[in-house]
Amino acid sequence: MDITLMHYLCLSMALFAVGVFGVLMARKSLIHILMSLELMLLGVNLTFVSFSRFHGEVTGQVFSLFILTVAAAEAAIGLAILVVYFREKRTIQITDMVSLGEKVE
Amino acid sequence: MLDNFLMDLKLVQSELVLLGGGLILLLMTLFPKRSKEFFPLFSVGIILMAFAVLFIPSGSWNSVDGMQGFFASLEASPLSQSFRGYFLALAAFVLLVGGSITIEKEKTAPEGYSLILFSITGGALLLSANDFFVAFVALEMMSLSLYAYVAFWSDGANAKEAAMKYFITGAVSSSFFLMGVAFIYGLTGACQFDEIANLMKLESETFLSSPLWYLGIGFLLAGLGFKMALAPFHLWVPDVYQGASTQSLLLIGVLPKLATLGFSILLLKGPFSLVYEELGVAITFLAVLSMGWGALGALTQRNFRRLMGYSAVANMGFVAIGLLPGDEISLASMNYLLIYSIGFVAVIGLVAYLQNQGLSLETVDDFVYVRQVPEAYRLLLALLMFSLAGVPPLAGFFGKFVVFKHALQHGYTFAVFAGIFVSVVSAAYYLRIIKALYFDALPEGTEGLVAETPLRQSFLVYRLSNLASVGLAAITILFAFVLSFL
């Protein structure tokens, strides 16, 4: 069986979808969300690279390098915010993020 | 080669000024002995300098028509130059108001201001992008600095949680944006706006019949909608508005929205001009949903900050009405956003100023206490509320008028009727604040509790600049006729 563009696209969309659901469905730790965010970006990267191969030119591959770089910066900032958040609240449970929101009286 | 490079640098003069200013501020952490007034003043000065430098290329911003540089990845058109002008002017205004509030709380650090300057650099760069590379990096530069800034500086207990929520939603939205870019790249094989536009013209039928095109546009709309706080993507807004410090609230409530809206207009006018007509339904949907959800959400809020958050969502719905496709690109949406932003900054700045005077203005009902400070503040707040509600002689009315006129001229009657209906509903929550200001009785035993906190003499400059900027806002709110007929 030949591996075509469609297979790569399905794989990358699956990665992206796993990332989105990971963000939406995470119930335990904020770390899960940060990991899912990375997964979404990886899905995008794979899309770019496979389209780049499909078109036979390099723009997409260069773009995926840019995404990798920015994803690293994003992860750094996300973890830094996580650290300051933990210092203040002493927890990273998602269910504890309730100090903002509608107050039921 | 070198000559070319120097010519290209003309396109990013103002960004270079901003970046340089940010780096100088970072260096200043080495010299901690500085008067507190220095950093905000310095930042405002840098932004004004960047604003002035914007005019230099060849005399005025109208004459750099279509100038491109850096392998055509940046472009300075009259439209993008004027957007950058608005953006920088608004940024200076925000920092003037926000800086004067920060100073009274005696928590300033140069790193925070350098983050702000980096964020503004990203926003200005986004508005001159002619390539998805630049657009993506600029968008990230703007957002990442803001996430860090929200976590960096807190005047309440919950800024860290707000930062976490802002970061997560923002990161998801950038992934959506990128996925949209990936699909459009997959279809066209190009990331450069002019190339995409040319390919669109040549092969419009193949493109328009491809599902990739609509997937791409959909993901792009979702990503940009997150940043602009349009309705199904607005869920972060109330929480972040509630938790963020005043300074960061002013920044996130104004700057990313303006930069993203400007970028969307340039995108719809440039590479996507052929599909723009077909986006009418999608934009109407976003607009009506934003207005409805925002107004209904705001009706039930007691917390003032959350109310302003929902009101921001509703107002972005009106902006989206102005974005509906027409014969030529109408600037009604940008015009509305500018008027709303000035009003928003003035309201939040004024409330924070009164809080610094010792008033507690957490909930809507707390606004009865405003009668304990001089009458002028109460009048100003009421005027600003009437303007946000869109009462005729004030600027908010003209913003809405121009937006509705644009939509009616191009046959979007449904959106206009929905907008008018929502305006009536939304007047209710603005009027509730006015009711608390003028008609509710002070609770028993609090009549004598006039705010005793004396005005601090040492920060005379800041009090003056605060009053001056709020006064400026008031004048703009009252006489925005020129602005509203762009």
Q: Answer yes or no: is pLDDT of B486 > 70.
A: no
B221-242 pLDDT, tens digit per residue, is 999 999 999 988 888 999 999 9
Rounded distance, CA B316 to CA B231, Å? Answer: 8
Give residue B456's pLDDT: 45
Question: Cβ contacts of residue A13 below 8 Å, gap of 6+?
Answer: A43, A47
Is B182 in contact with A51 (Cβ distance < 8 A)?
Answer: yes
Kindly state the average pLDDT of the residues B370-380.
79
**Residues of A with Cβ-Cβ distance to B171 under 8 angstroms:** 37, 74, 78
Substitution target from B142, B146, B168 for chain A, most A beta carbons within 10 A: B168
Output the CATH code of domain A28-94: 1.10.287.3510
Kindly state the average pLDDT of the residues B39-43.
86
Substitution target from A39, A44, A65 for chain B, most B beta carbons within 10 A: A44
Give residue B201's pLDDT: 84
Domain ranges in chain A are 28-94
- Mean pLDDT check: name the lowest of A44-48, B118-122, B289-293, B465-469: B465-469
- Mean pLDDT check: name the lowest of A37-51, B72-86, B193-207, B349-363: B349-363
Q: Is the predicted ipTM greater than 0.85, yes or no?
A: yes
Q: Answer yes or no: is pLDDT of B443 > 80.
A: no
Is A81 in contact with B151 (Cβ distance < 8 A)?
Answer: yes
Mean of all residue pLDDT scores within chain B:
83
Kindly state the average pLDDT of the residues B149-154.
83
The closest of B376, B135, B390, B372 to B262, measured between CA atoms, is B135
Decide if B88 is inside a domain. Answer: no
Domain count for chain B: 1
Kindly state the average pLDDT of the residues B398-419.
89
Kindly state the average pLDDT of the residues B189-209.
86
Q: What tokens were used for A20?
A: 């989105």
Q: Answer yes or no: is pLDDT of B46 > 90.
A: yes
At B454, the pLDDT band (50, 70, 90 cuts) reads very low
Rounded distance, CA A71 to CA B395, Å? Answer: 42
The closest of B179, B240, B188, B251 to B215, measured between CA atoms, is B179
Give residue B122's pLDDT: 95
Q: Are B184 and A35 in contact (CB under 8 A)?
A: no
C-alpha Rg value of chain B to the nearest Å:
22
Q: Answer yes or no: is pLDDT of B190 > 80.
A: yes
Q: Which residue has the higher pLDDT, B11 or B464?
A: B11
Q: Answer yes or no: is pLDDT of B62 > 60.
A: no
Decide if B54 is inside a domain. Answer: no
Substitution target from B160, B240, B299 for chain A, most A beta carbons within 10 A: B160
Q: Strand pairing partners for B129?
A: B74
Kindly state the average pLDDT of the residues B167-173.
94
Is B186 in contact with A80 (Cβ distance < 8 A)?
Answer: no
Give residue B471's pLDDT: 63
Decide if B69 is inside a domain. Answer: no
Decide if B33 is inside a domain. Answer: no
Q: Are B477 and B343 in contact (CB under 8 A)?
A: yes
Contact residues of B toward A, CB < 8 A: 132-133, 136-137, 140, 144, 147-148, 151, 157-158, 160-165, 167-168, 171-172, 174-175, 178-179, 181-183, 185-186, 189-191, 238-240, 242-243, 303, 306
Give residue B465's pLDDT: 54
**Residues of B with Cβ-Cβ distance to A97 under 8 angstroms:** 161, 164-165
Residue numbers of A between 23 and 42 with CB closer than 8 Å to B: 23, 30, 33, 37, 40-41
Kindly state the average pLDDT of the residues B287-299.
93
Residue numbers of A between 53 and 72 with CB closer than 8 Å to B: 54-55, 57, 59-60, 62-63, 66-67, 70
Rounded distance, CA B308 to CA B349, Å? Answer: 13
Is B168 in contact with A23 (Cβ distance < 8 A)?
Answer: yes
Is B189 in contact with A59 (Cβ distance < 8 A)?
Answer: yes
At B262, the pLDDT band (50, 70, 90 cuts) reads very high
Give residue B452's pLDDT: 47
Q: How far is CA B121 from CA B98, B256, B323, B395, in A?
A: 18, 11, 25, 29
Please count the other Cβ atoms lying within 10 Å of the Cβ belonging to residue B391: 16
Is A77 in contact with B148 (Cβ distance < 8 A)?
Answer: yes
Substitution target from B111, B119, B178 for chain A, most A beta carbons within 10 A: B178
DSSP class of residue A105 equals: -
Rounded distance, CA B122 to CA B134, Å? Answer: 10
Decide if B370 is inside a domain. Answer: yes
Q: Is A93 helix (H, G, I), strand (E, B) or coil?
A: strand
3-state SS of chain B is CHHHHHHHHHHHHHHHHHHHHHHHHHHHHHCCCCCCCHHHHHHHHHHHHHHHHCCCCCCCHHHCCCEEECCCCEEECHHHHHHHHHHHHHHHHHHHHHHHHHHHCCCCCHHHHHHHHHHHHHHHHHHCECEHHHHHHHHHHHHHHHHHHHHHCCCCCCHHHHHHHHHHHHHHHHHHHHHHHHHHHHHHCCCEHHHHHHHHHHCHHHHHCCHHHHHHHHHHHHHHHHHHCCHHHCCCHHHHHHHCCHHHHHHHHHHHHHHHHHHHHHHHHCCCHHHHHHHHHHHHHHHHHHHHHHHHHHHCCCEHHHHHHHHHHHHHHHHHHHCCCCCCCCCHHHHHHHHHHHHHHHHHHHHHHHHHCCCCCCEHHHHHHHHHCCHHHHHHHHHHHHHHHCCCCCHHHHHHHHHHHHHHHCCCHHHHHHHHHHHHHHHHHHHHHHHHHHCCCCCCCCCCCCCCCCCCHHHHHHHHHHHHHHHHHHHHHHCCHHHHCC
- Does residue A34 come out as left (phi exceeding 0), alpha (psi in the -120 to 50 range) or beta? alpha
Residue ranges of chain A with pLDDT lower than 70?
103-105
Please count the other Cβ atoms lying within 10 Å of the Cβ belonging to residue B232: 13
Is B164 in contact with A30 (Cβ distance < 8 A)?
Answer: yes
Decide if B327 is inside a domain. Answer: yes
Q: Which residue has the higher pLDDT, A41 or B12?
A: A41
At B342, the pLDDT band (50, 70, 90 cuts) reads confident
Is A16 in contact with B175 (Cβ distance < 8 A)?
Answer: yes
Give residue B206's pLDDT: 82
Is A63 in contact with B133 (Cβ distance < 8 A)?
Answer: yes
Q: Which of A30, A57, A84 sits opposite B189 (nearest CB)?
A: A57
Give residue B396's pLDDT: 83
Q: What tokens were used for B427?
A: 């007047």
- Mean pLDDT check: name the lowest of B158-162, B318-322, B443-447: B443-447
Give residue B207's pLDDT: 81
Which residues constitute the domain of residue B287?
Answer: 274-486
Q: Which of A44, A73, A78 sits opposite B179 (nearest CB)?
A: A44
**Residues of A with Cβ-Cβ distance to B164 under 8 angstroms:** 30, 81-82, 85, 97
Give residue B478's pLDDT: 56
At B53, the pLDDT band (50, 70, 90 cuts) reads confident
Q: Are B68 and B74 in contact (CB under 8 A)?
A: yes
Q: Answer yes or no: is pLDDT of B47 > 90.
A: yes
Give residue B293's pLDDT: 93
Phi, psi of B323 (to 5 degrees): -85, -5
Q: Answer yes or no: is pLDDT of B41 > 60.
A: yes
Q: Are B283 and B265 in contact (CB under 8 A)?
A: no
Rounded distance, CA A85 to CA B146, Å? Answer: 16
